[in-house]
């Protein structure tokens, strides 16, 4: 363990203004253990009274070496690491990684599996936005929001438990399809959710959207221009709230998103309130997608029958020698992937979740890089908090919806 050294201003000299060196402005640590930083994020603030002059994010407290660990595992086994990246969006991470593997080795996915993936990923998006809504409400002293949001989120997590046996670390979506078909109770559980949720969103909105206190705290706070957003690589709802109509589900439809009708909500204001409105609207759109996918859910297999990449069903292993060999080979050695690299991206609740995957001809990836949306979305924070109050910083940080597991990997 390193000895704790006294921190001197010398270390931050190149980051802060001249005024901090003379003591005119104050340097203040916010975090790493602070309830409003949504995880272990340290912000070094330079304050003039209560006004933020500069904000220097310090990340890495949650760095767990996920990319390095994935390189040491076979393609199937590395998938469990992806759940732990953005722990508010495990299904979406599974999908991003699995789609990258499928693209690299070229496996087709049956239509039923694609529809199931869409349903689960959209439910996950709603669950993730609910956590955002609950916690950002909490940050702005709307405590009841937190309880309401987590009530609905629990219902979604119950659906995940039903299909995968896990509430959060699901690993349900697998290369070539999904783990196994959904149980019969699934349909009713999702239908129940579809039925109650629109009313619940109305409830949230009646509490917040026109609440004068809430509007005072949100409107014209943390303005992010279109140009800055693009230069900083900001994606997702934050980019759409700055007036850029870019959603990978629409722009480059994957997993059958082109069959569903939905809108991509955008705003042009670019402030904290616009980001709030975009996400609320996104929950409604996600629900529309879930409903359409449930209505159209085709019957059929949920896993590709390409035995070189996808394990055979249990029923075959007992009767077929080839199935047994395939099963054994796939779980001991894994499947080989070509010596090439691909980049594949999906729209996560936070933005573009990209996976850069390079194979070396063997069963383990040579390099896995997760292009995580929170990383770039946080980098822009310095630009948008300048000149605001510390209390506004909390609102802005909540509105960009970062997940530290996603940033530090």
Partner 1 sequence: MDKKLEPIVKAVQNKFGATFEEFRGEAHLFVKPEQIVDALTLLRDEQNFELLSALTAVDYFPQEAPRFHVVYQLTSLAKNLSVQLRVPVNGSSPKVPTAAGVFASANWRERELLDMFGIEFDGHPDPRRLLMPDETEGHPLRKDFPLGYEEPQFTFNFDDIDLRKPYAKE
Question: Which residues sit at the interface with partner 1, rule CB under 8 A?
Answer: 1-2, 14-15, 59-60, 63, 65, 67-69, 72, 103-104, 106, 228, 230-233, 235, 244, 246, 251-252, 340-343, 345, 352, 354, 356, 358, 366-367, 369, 371, 375-376, 379-380, 408-409
Please state the closest distance from residue 380 (CB atom) to partner 1, in A.
8
Please state the closest distance from residue 342 (CB atom) to partner 1, in A.
6
Q: Apex CA 106: angle with CA 105 and CA 111, to 5°?
A: 130
User: Given the complex with partner 1, which of 191 and 308 has the nearer CB atom?
Assistant: 308
Listed residue (342, 344, 343, 337) closest to 360, CA to CA: 337
Q: For residue 169, what are its two tokens?
A: 């670390």
User: Given the complex with partner 1, which of 67 and 181 has the nearer CB atom?
Assistant: 67
User: Given the complex with partner 1, which of 46 and 352 has the nearer CB atom?
Assistant: 352
Please state the closest distance from residue 287 (CB atom) to partner 1, in A.
26
User: Given the complex with partner 1, which of 127 and 404 has the nearer CB atom?
Assistant: 404
Please state the closest distance from residue 80 (CB atom) to partner 1, in A.
16
User: Given the complex with partner 1, which of 73 and 288 has the nearer CB atom?
Assistant: 73
Please state the closest distance from residue 356 (CB atom) to partner 1, in A.
6
CA distances from 122 to 41, 231, 274 (A): 28, 28, 21
CA gap 180, 191 in Å, rounded: 20
Please state the closest distance from residue 60 (CB atom) to partner 1, in A.
4
CA distances from 301 to 67, 114, 122, 311, 335 (A): 32, 11, 21, 13, 21
CA gap 165, 159 in Å, rounded: 9
CA gap 152, 189 in Å, rounded: 12
Contact yes or no for 392/217 (Cβ under 8 A): yes
Sign of CA dihedral 193, 199, 202, 208: negative
Q: Which residues of 319-352 are buried (b: 16+ CB within 10 A; e: fewer)?
A: eeeebeebbeebeeebbbbeeeebebbbbbbbbb
Please state the closest distance from residue 46 (CB atom) to partner 1, in A.
15
- CB burial of residue 11 (10 Å; 0-12, 13-18, 19+): exposed
Helix (H) or strand (E) holding 196: helix 185-208
Please state the closest distance from residue 279 (CB atom) to partner 1, in A.
20
């Amino acid at each position: 363990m390193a000895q704790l050294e006294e921190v001197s201003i010398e270390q931050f000299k190149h980051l802060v203004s001249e005024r901090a060196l003379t003591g005119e402005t104050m340097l203040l640590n916010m975090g790493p253990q602070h309830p409003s930083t949504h995880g272990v994020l340290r912000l070094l603030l330079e304050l003039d009274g209560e006004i933020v002059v500069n904000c220097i994010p310090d990340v890495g407290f949650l760095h767990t070496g996920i990319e390095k660990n994935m390189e040491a595992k076979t393609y199937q086994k590395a998938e469990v690491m992806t759940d732990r990246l953005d722990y508010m969006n495990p299904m979406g991470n599974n999908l991003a990684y699995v789609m990258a593997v499928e693209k690299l080795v070229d496996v087709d996915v049956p239509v039923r599996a694609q529809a199931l993936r869409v349903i689960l990923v959209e439910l996950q998006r709603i669950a993730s936005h609910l956590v955002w809504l609950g916690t950002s409400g909490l940050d702005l002293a709307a405590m009841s929001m937190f309880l309401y949001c987590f009530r609905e989120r629990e219902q979604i997590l119950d659906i995940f438990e039903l299909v995968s046996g896990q509430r959060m670390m699901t690993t349900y979506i697998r290369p070539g399809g999904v783990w196994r078909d959904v149980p019969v109770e699934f349909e009713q559980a999702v239908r129940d959710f579809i039925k109650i949720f629109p009313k619940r969103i109305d409830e949230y909105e009646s509490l917040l959207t026109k609440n004068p206190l809430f509007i005072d705290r949100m409107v014209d706070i943390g303005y992010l221009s279109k140009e800055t957003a693009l230069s900083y690589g900001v994606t997702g709802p934050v980019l759409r709230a700055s007036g850029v109509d870019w959603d990978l589900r629409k722009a480059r439809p994957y997993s059958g998103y082109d069959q569903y009708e939905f809108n991509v909500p955008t705003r042009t204001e670019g402030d904290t309130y616009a980001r709030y409105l975009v996400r609320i609207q996104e929950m409604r759109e996600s629900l529309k997608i879930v409903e359409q996918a449930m209505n159209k859910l085709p019957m059929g297999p949920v896993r590709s029958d390409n035995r070189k990449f996808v394990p055979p069903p249990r029923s075959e292993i007992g009767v077929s020698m080839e199935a047994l060999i395939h099963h054994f080979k796939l779980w001991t050695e894994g499947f080989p992937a070509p010596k090439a690299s691909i980049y594949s991206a999906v729209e996560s609740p936070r933005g573009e979740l990209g996976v850069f995957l390079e194979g070396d001809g063997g069963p383990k990836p040579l390099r896995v890089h997760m292009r995580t949306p929170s990383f770039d979305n946080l980098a822009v924070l310095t630009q948008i908090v300048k000149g605001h109050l510390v209390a506004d910083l909390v609102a802005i940080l909540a509105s960009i919806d970062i997940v530290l597991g996603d940033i530090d990997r």
